[in-house]
Amino acid sequence: MFQVNFVDVQAENAIFDGEGWDAVVVVTPDLVSIGIDEISLLAEHGAKVDKRVGKSPTLLFAPGLAGGRLIIAPVTQVADDYADVRIYGDAARAAIAIAKDAGAKRPLLYVVPSATPKFGFASEVAALACGQELWQTLELREATGLTPAFEAIGLLSLTSKKSQLLNALEAGRVLARDLCGTEPERMSAKAFAEYCLQAFKGSVIKTAVVEDRDILERDYPLLSAVARSSFAVGRHQPRVVKLEYLPEGEITRTFLFAGKGVVYDTGGADLKVGGAMAGMSRDKGGASAVAGLFKTLSMLKPKGIRVIAELGLVRNSIGSEAFVTDEIITSHAGVRVRIGNTDAEGRLVLADLLSHLRIKAVSAVQPELFSVATLTGHVVRCYGSYPAAVENAVASGAKCAQTLALQASQWGEPFEVSTLRREDFAKIREVSGAADILSSNNAPSSVTARGHQYPAAFLLKASGLFEHGVNAAIPLAYTHLDIAGSATEGDPLYGKPTASPLVGLYQYLINR
């Protein structure tokens, strides 16, 4: 797998030439705080010669240090009330790019510790940011034989070891980026499923793939409707990937995830036009992030938690077999759904997955359910590059989204928390009486009031989770995560996948 290999380094003398490292990268808010005399002296001398040192990422000639290279990456805005730990990641990305361009193969990364609580995981965030910077697309790697830029990145920390955790998180993020960022033929539903199976081969993750059309149409009727036109093309046929992580020993909590994996979205009969179809191979970011989370789980094997997932992999194709607006389709939960817009396909896929997970959750230990999806343009209009968490009343009472937002923010993946309200349920009312609910209106979510909140109301109703509210015999906590704005960075169509919210979710799972 194409990823950074992090190595713990706890000997300060590793910064000197001859220890196998060939550059020293220092991420620091100022030159005074560095705390290693040899580096401080070189940095201070460099600042007298070049006033950019300490103000912008700078490469210094450093005789006696590893490789003769010292890169000082200043962390700006540390005193800004609204800055968060991502400023350390920004500095690290800029510095590691310089190290790469300078020809280093084994750089040593030193993040000057901070006493500020909100920067408590600065070194981990900086290291993961290096992984984000260095990842290259699967298509490019397969076409050119491209190999990782570095043999290893040394993590200089005199107080703790971090490499095992960071390597597992980065392995998960590499898998998620590969799945999300790869074009729709190379990463079709079938190829996505096979890539997952290969990634978990020989691991503790239990895997299964549902691909038989009769079973899919019986057990996942809404998902199968979305995929109806794709069944005619063998390589485009849908899949449901089932994953399960079972720890050794007692289980104290169960987490269940539904991942949206629309490998390509034409919009279906409500066709995307005017260039709006470009980038729709990235509509599988939710399923990709969940798959990546399981890769991390497979490596770290945390105690006490059972994690279950269903990934719905479909291509929303256009054709004579395509499902159309006005159809009424009964969901797996027995809810009659009128199709309001075939370009609102993701919630249909998720509803059937959540219905299956609901059944498992009823008998599970301390269950919490999640859906993860690049679902709406509205969330991007509201929050830009931040994902949104929309929870039911049970999850709200347990402060699920609030806790997730706190954990994720500490690790550089901040969330926005949205509130589900009665108006959201009014939006899915089916006025004719022929169906139980309406899947969506016929306008884009980006111009629809509460366009990212009300799909959570639909998911609760269509999946049967609405019947497991606060006053039910078996209440079930459910949180919907809309990651349409955070799944990629930079270019909205072809920017680098981020694997969001994998890191935040893992921290939530192990600290809940």
- Rounded to whole angstroms, the Cα distance separating 455 from 451 reads 7
- Rounded to whole angstroms, the Cα distance separating 97 from 90 reads 11
Q: Convert the pLDDT of each residue in 12-68 to its tens digit.
A: 899 997 679 999 999 999 999 999 999 999 999 999 999 999 999 999 999 999 999
pLDDT at position 493: 87
Provide the CATH number for the domain around residue 111: 3.40.220.10
Q: Is residue 170 part of a domain?
A: no
In a shared domain, residues 187 and 143 = no
Which residue among 132, 161, 190 closes a domain?
161
Q: Is residue 177 part of a domain?
A: no
In a shared domain, residues 188 and 153 = no
Instruction: Name the pLDDT band for 507 (thresholds 50, 70, 90).
Output: very high
In a shared domain, residues 299 and 420 = yes
In a shared domain, residues 36 and 155 = yes
Q: Is residue 97 part of a domain?
A: yes
Q: Convert the pLDDT of each residue in 19-33 to its tens digit.
A: 799 999 999 999 999
Please give the share of the chain, as a percent, with pLDDT higher than 90. 95
Identify the residue whose tokens are 């449901």. Answer: 240
Report the pLDDT averaged over residues 298-309: 98
In a shared domain, residues 37 and 111 = yes
In a shared domain, residues 99 and 57 = yes
Reading phi first (left if > 0) and then psi (alpha if -120 to 50, else beta), residue 319 is in left
Q: Is residue 174 part of a domain?
A: no
Domains of the chain: total? 2
- To 5 degrees, how large is the angle CA 144–CA 146–CA 147? 160
Q: Is residue 167 part of a domain?
A: no
Q: Is residue 175 part of a domain?
A: no
Give the three-class secondary structure for 298. Answer: helix
Give the three-class secondary structure for 414. Answer: coil
pLDDT at position 460: 98
Q: Which two tokens stand for residue 479?
A: 């949180």
Domain residues for the domain of 35 are: 6-161
pLDDT at position 446: 74
Q: Is residue 176 part of a domain?
A: no
Q: What is the pTM of this model?
A: 0.97
In a shared domain, residues 153 and 292 = no
Provide the CATH number for the domain around residue 348: 3.40.630.10
Please state, rounded to an integer, the average pLDDT across all residues of the chain. 96
Q: What is the CA radius of gyration of the chain?
A: 24
Task: List the catalytic residues.
Answer: 272, 347
